Chain A
């Protein structure tokens, strides 16, 4: 009986929205935190892995980000966006910090493929279907950019490089790098449709 009630409570928690779960997390509910982790850890790990290219480093970043979330909420403010976008921004910032701290850029954009398991394409909920559809649109928009614009955007966002570092790498004037970033993002916004839903 107790077990039955426990499972029901667990199922109920999994039906809650992230914002409701975060209130429980702030009250110290481990089970609510576990649901948040299960919903967003794959995206967090994938982002960190994409940025660092090293599984061990990516795991450290994700662990650090989620433990910070558990200890303090780490600055989550529902007025500024979804839990998912906030988790991913924490992971992104920490990955950039980690890469800049290490200093060496060698091998960063060459993931150790084969060590991590690709996520099966199962789409279990409407939200996941919607999210995967958004991701596909975004990848298409990125892939359709001229290579020189896509490269500066990827080096900046996923590589954590500043525009001066990119300019040095590509032997371009800094103004050209900034211009390509702007053109690329403007085209992506146009391709995705002004006013269309681009959410995380």
Chain B
């Protein structure tokens, strides 16, 4: 960027790129800057250049040994925690099956989901969510969520569980998280990214590879309000 900053989408170029990559913009400014970025090649370039620096900044911290207790706690927990048989993460492929309208899927979900519990996205804690089969726990800590399911049915070959997030009343968007459950119906999967702005986390059964829009009613709906 030069000093000859231009204005695009009502936004002065160069004004926010550094603060953005440093995570120092206010939440409302982040969304505005991201919209600006979609149309501004100059800011895209500057952000990419600055991200080279901020991506390496953690290494500038004084290095300490991992406390032995911490390593032991993590490994004990890992050995005791059933691992989700998660499919490799990838962008869901477009399904050859026609996606049903989300309104229809959600209407069906009223039957499928017995209870969804309101949670505080800004706080921590756990709530139990009863699904149509088995049960699920959405564990929230630090604005991030982990979904742990028990006694969900194993799906036949060619089918997989897919996680979605919903903002407000908009149609759910895919998280890219596809997972299967163990023979006892257990899985633990993280909700990618922050729960900030998320109104609900949902799980549907989809064709292997996932879809870009739900093709079935959700078996789990967790309202995050």
**B-side binding surface: helix, strand, loop or mixed?**
mixed
Q: How far is the CA of A93 from the CA of B74 in the complex (A)?
A: 19
Chain B 36-73, CB within 8 Å of chain A: the 1/0 string?
Answer: 00000000000001101111111111111111011101
Whether the pair A49, B64 counts as a contact (CB closer than 8 A) is yes
A94-B142, A117-B65 in contact; A88/B58 too (CB < 8 A)?
A: yes
Q: B77's contact among A23, A67, A134, A164, by CB below 8 Å, is which?
A: A67
Residues 67-98 of chain B, each 1 if its beta carbon lies under 8 Å from chain A, else 0: 10111011101110101111011000000000
CB < 8 Å neighbour of A101 from B54, B59, B122, B189: B122
- The residue of chain A having its C-beta at the shortest distance from the C-beta of B68 within the complex is A117
A96 to B30 CA separation, bound complex (whole angstroms): 16
B14 lies within 8 A of chain A by Cβ: yes
Q: Is the CB of A26 within 8 A of B88?
A: yes
Kindly list chain B residues whose C-beta atoms are within 8 Å of the C-beta of A66: 74, 78
Given A26, A49, A156, which contacts B23 in the complex, CB threshold below 8 Å? A156
**Cβ of A50: which chain B residues have Cβ within 8 Å of it?**
61-62
* B101 is an interface residue with CB less than 8 A from chain A: no
A15 to B55, CA, bound (A): 25
Complex contact A67–B64 (CB within 8 A)? no
Contact with A along B137-159 (1 / 0, CB 8 A): 00001111010100000000000
**Contact A182-B56, Cβ < 8 Å, known A42-B66, A74-B192, A162-B25:** no
Q: How far is the CA of A140 from the CA of B50 in the complex (A)?
A: 17
Interface residues of A in 136-161 (CB under 8 A from B): 138-139, 142, 153, 156-158, 160-161
A162 touches B24 (CB 8 A): yes
A119 contacts across to B, CB distance below 8 A: 63-65
B105 interface residue, CB < 8 Å from A?
no
Closest to B190 in A: A72
Contact A45 B64 (CB under 8 A): yes
> Which 3 pairs, one residue from A and one from B, show the smallest C-beta to C-beta distance?
A72-B190, A28-B83, A75-B192
